[in-house]
Structure 1
Amino acid sequence: MRRRDLITVIGGTPIAWPCTVLAQPTGQVRLVGVLMGFEDEAISRALVAQFRASLATLGWKEGDNLRIALRWGTGSTDRIAALARELVNMRPDAILGETTPVAVALARETKSIPIVFVTVSDPVGSGLAASVVHPGGNVTGFTYVESTVGGKWVELLKELVPRTLRVALLFNPATAPPLKFYLPSIQAAATSLAIQTSTAPVHARDEIETVVAAQARGPGGGLIVMPDIFNAAHHELIIALAARYGVPAIFGNDFAESGGLIFYGADFAETFRLGAGYIDRVLKGANPGDLPIQLPQKFTLSLNLKTAKALGLTVPGSLLARADEVIE
């Protein structure tokens, strides 16, 4: 079940676009680079397909007036840096970058080629923009979380699993957005619900099991899988380990359809559609520094009832009623 709302406002105020009339696509073939943080057959490829389809509806047709140079990261900062350099050296007309590490790597390589980012957590804190309303420079785009979402992860996990007494935050320091962006809201919610929190940094795939197993050793253990391209690249392993050890986990990326118990965040597909809109504006002459960064106002809640049943959980009716997507 899906109920998706358009995310096109900042701070609750509708964006007023400038009245400047921009040039329409011409016969010239424009090159757009796309750098994804990780590759997943069912998830990230569908997002790229959404981006392509959205550009087509705006008049940009591959093989006609558009060429897309697509590159896939693997959740590795070294590979992302190399791919960012490769794309910039191609001198595209614009680049779409997915995730914070990707956007940062692209911005490091060029101060002139327009960059539109999607699924970035803290663009100002990450040094990508001077401000949300007036980014300046050559970078703008769409965030998919705000700092207070951390507290919602804690609250939702507690609502779904009342026995939760402690949660670990799973993340890779090299690839995750700065943890300080989320920590205040996470700690405030945890304190109010008498939940202990701990950080669980990992640097390699074989370290993940240690974190999950630790949460299973005592009563009331849970996991917050932070939005992180490392976690995204290894989501199947994290989901499998959470099931094996019986640890309830809430995800900062939408992996409910892959077996993740619960997700709360913005609609990624909608973000890519909106990203295509900004790429369209840039190709028609808009300055990215003049395009405000857009913040999500409507968040999506996804639940996997099969996973909940396997963990022996009864999903509250109030939570089911609020869910945008329920996988049975």
Structure 2
Amino acid sequence: MMLPRRAVLATLGAATLVASSLGWAQEAGRTYRLGFVVPSPRSEGFWTILFDELRRAGFVEGGNLQVVGEFGVTPGRADAVAGAAVKAGADVIFTAGPECTRAAQDATKTIPISAYSGDLVAERLVASLAHPGGNTTGVSILAPEIDTKRQDMLFDMLPGIRRIGALVDPSARTPAQLETLAAAAGSRGATLSIHRASRNEEIIPAIDAARAVEAQALNVIQSPLTFVNYSLIIEHVAKVRLPAIYGVPEFADRGGLVAYGPRVATLIPQIIVPQLVKLLRGAKPAQIPVERPTIIELALNLKTAKALDLVVPTAFLTRADKVIE
């Protein structure tokens, strides 16, 4: 049966509205190239979330979306990977951490960059949150701002501790930020020891050094290095029986004792993918404000606490947004 012309137009119009609302209004026949310069391997579950969200917005890997660049970028390779993504004709480049973001900025001044990092302003990757300028926008995850809050939570969870350690990648924090952290520990009647790791192979010796000076707890300072090596850190602190706090709630899900920070699985649909979609559709990065997390989660793994023979105070337990038992 042939529909009247008016009915056909109405049907097509409705379909267009639905497609637009779902983000399907991409250029017909075009292949979009999304570059990645990130330290986390593709096997991480949050990449599945990202590509699922992109697919819902109409960008389908293997269809109209081609992935270029690399996952699992090791230190020292960011420049080469960023350059390869540019040569491959990336329409947008997604980066994680200051090293990868700076490499992408060095490789191109025109291709939009969406960056996930600790503090894009303090790292001098954007001019400001509201007006990033240049070809970079993204999400600042407040990492340096909540280092002290994370440390305070260790004191609240473990009353009476007098020596705390911090596992730090020196490239991720300034001396002034570490001095602030030490002063905060002093205000709680405790001392802070800094244990530095710049490469993967330095992580275990740094944790052992913290244990050697009798640190009673460890603040794992959030950085690309600690993010990528979370399994190694969680395993080793358990081995040496050192309570530790992390900056990513997912790490508590995976066996870490406690974590305080934005959940990556929440940031992806709320901030990261919407920004990527805008950029893929032609928006200018300078016109997209850098966003910050709106939800900071406290996650506690009671199973790990029991393995460490820790009794978590009830007041702290009730503060947790998520308790893993």
TM range (shorter): 0.7 to 0.9
Greater RCO between the two (CA within 8 Å, min separation 6)?
A: 1
| Separation of aligned partners in 2, 1:40 and 1:202 | 24
Q: More displaced, 135-144 or 297-306?
A: 297-306
| 1:268 aligns with one of 264, 271, 277 | 264
TM alignment of 1:209-288, pairs within 5 A: 209-217=204-212, 219=214, 221-253=216-248, 254-273=250-269, 274-288=271-285
Query: 1:264: how far off?
Result: 0.7
The residue that corresponds to 2:49 in the other structure is 50
Query: 1:82: how far off?
Result: 2.1
| Separation of aligned partners in 2, 1:123 and 1:180 | 18
Identity of aligned residues (%): 30
TM alignment of 1:119-268, pairs within 5 A: 120-173=117-170, 176-180=171-175, 182-183=177-178, 185-217=180-212, 219=214, 221-253=216-248, 254-268=250-264
Secondary structure at the residue paired with 1:207? helix
Q: Contact between 1:147 and 1:181, CA under 8 Å: does it hold in 2? A: no
| Separation of aligned partners in 1, 2:308 and 2:177 | 27
Give the number of the structure whose alpha-carbon radius of gyration is greater. Answer: 2
Instruction: With the length of structure 2 as denominator, give the TM-score of the two structures.
Output: 0.85
Q: Contact between 1:32 and 1:66, CA under 8 Å: does it hold in 2? A: yes
For the aligned residues, what is the CA RMSD?
A: 2.2
Query: 1:168: how far off?
Result: 2.0
Query: 1:147: how far off?
Result: 3.5
Deviations for 1:17-49, whole angstroms, at most 9, x for unmatched residues? xxxxx99411111111122212274xxx22111
| Separation of aligned partners in 2, 1:139 and 1:166 | 40
| Separation of aligned partners in 2, 1:183 and 1:269 | 29
Q: More displaced, 195-204 or 295-304?
A: 195-204
Deviations for 1:146-200, whole angstroms, at most 9, x for unmatched residues? 5330111111111111132122221233xx4233574365234312211211221
- In structure 2, stretches of 5+ residues that fail to align are 1-22
Does structure 1 residue 313 correspond to structure 2 residue 310?
yes
Deviations for 1:35-79, whole angstroms, at most 9, x for unmatched residues? 2212274xxx221111111112222223332222251225x3212
| Separation of aligned partners in 2, 1:279 and 1:167 | 39
Q: Contact between 2:92 and 2:279, CA under 8 Å: does it hold in 1? A: yes
C-alpha spacing 1:234/1:283, structure 2 compared with 1 (3 Å): closer
| Separation of aligned partners in 1, 2:84 and 2:176 | 30
Secondary structure at the residue paired with 1:164? coil
| Runs of 4+ residues deviating >6 angstroms | none
Q: More displaced, 222-231 or 65-74?
A: 65-74
Q: Contact between 2:165 and 2:215, CA under 8 Å: does it hold in 1? A: no
Instruction: With the length of structure 1 as denominator, give the TM-score of the two structures.
Output: 0.84
| Separation of aligned partners in 2, 1:249 and 1:238 | 9
C-alpha spacing 1:181/1:91, structure 2 compared with 1 (3 Å): farther
| Separation of aligned partners in 2, 1:234 and 1:23 | 37
Q: By percentage of residues, which structure has more helix?
A: 2
Query: 1:326: how far off?
Result: 1.8
What is the aligned length?
300
Q: Contact between 1:163 and 1:220, CA under 8 Å: does it hold in 2? A: no
One-letter amino acid of the structure 1 residue matched with residue 35 of structure 2: G
Q: Contact between 1:115 and 1:139, CA under 8 Å: does it hold in 2? A: yes
